[in-house]
Amino acid sequence: MSTFWIDRPTFVTGGTGLLGWWLVKRLVEVGARVICLVRKRPSKAEFANAGLPAQTQQVEGDIRDQALLERIIGDRNVRTIMHVAAKAIVTDAIADPVPTLSVNIEGTWSLLEACRRTPGVEQILLASSDKAYGEAEQLPVDEKTPLQGLGPYEASKACADLIGHAYARAYGLPLAITRCGNFFGGGDLHWNRIVPGTIRTVLRGKRPVIRTDGLFVRDYFYIEDAAAAYLLLAEALAARPELRGQAFNFSNEERTTVLDIVSRIVRLMGSDLEPEVRGESSTEIREQLLSAEKARRLLGWSARYTLDEGLLHTIEWYKTFFERTEAGRAALAEA
């Protein structure tokens, strides 16, 4: 185990979200002193269920509050920052774009401006997304592919990504950018997402529903691999200044349709239920696939879990959640 993280003041924005709580969990395990920005004190979130409030410091506030961010970074002697706070539901962004644009874009410049004005920060990881690339002409996309996200969520991540590059270049901030595929793993309670929604539906003994034609291609990325990638990149950024201002794709590089991911889940759960493919139209990006060649070459990174292994771990997490927690039993029973 690396000693890099022992007692290291590490600030995680969005610490109660899916990626955030897995990051915090891993950072606590390696000995970091973790400070989390949260919108409200954690209660039923997996962050709380995992016992993380007692092992971390939490500060209530808004990611757009620059003055608060400066106080957190300065008063707590923050050395490493992982900025993963975001409005991340694509359908919500389409229905009501302003909150997504505000949090994802203004939140990013507020944090980076706070870093610029507060000495001592040594590494900043900025979470972009594969969605920032938009509808690329060639797949898989690498880090040289232009950012051309056109939907509200996609555009917000592309803007935040470019703002990160600007602050790294203009002010020398020690920053690197991550672009990952669709996260999946335990703790995601957004049931409209395909992985948790399908698992819950199959456990109910019902046919999983695919609202599109099922042929949309996505880059599904297990959350524990994502958390490990963040820690690896932060350590590399500390040792190698030439990585500043660079972006890295992280992916298992497996071309997977929505129909295939649903079929895999059903098979791994030992069910013979056939998905209901409704064929409804969608405004989302049709095909996405990342190349992680740069991360393999420059960081020595590789995914620890295959897609099926990640899904098996995820299925087991939800089975335990639905069986052993009051919130899980309520979620399984709700209409």
Catalytic residues: 153
As a residue count, the chain comes to 335
Residue 43, classified by CB atoms within 10 Å of its CB into exposed (0-12), middle (13-18) or buried (19+), is exposed
CA angle 37, 234, 299 (to 5 degrees): 145
H-state helical runs in the chain: 18-29, 46-49, 66-75, 90-95, 97-101, 107-117, 152-171, 194-203, 223-239, 258-268, 293-299, 307-324, 326-333
Q: What share of the chain is helix, strand, coil (3-state, %, to 5)?
A: 45, 15, 40
* Residue closest to 5 by CA, chosen among 115, 112, 82: 82
d(C-alpha 319, C-alpha 308), whole Å: 16
d(C-alpha 127, C-alpha 22), whole Å: 14
d(C-alpha 47, C-alpha 24), whole Å: 8
Q: Are 192 and 91 in contact (CB under 8 A)?
A: yes
**SS3 state at 101:** helix
In angstroms and rounded to an integer, the radius of gyration of the C-alpha atoms of the chain is 19
Q: Which two tokens stand for residue 203?
A: 């456990």
Q: Are 256 and 219 in contact (CB under 8 A)?
A: yes
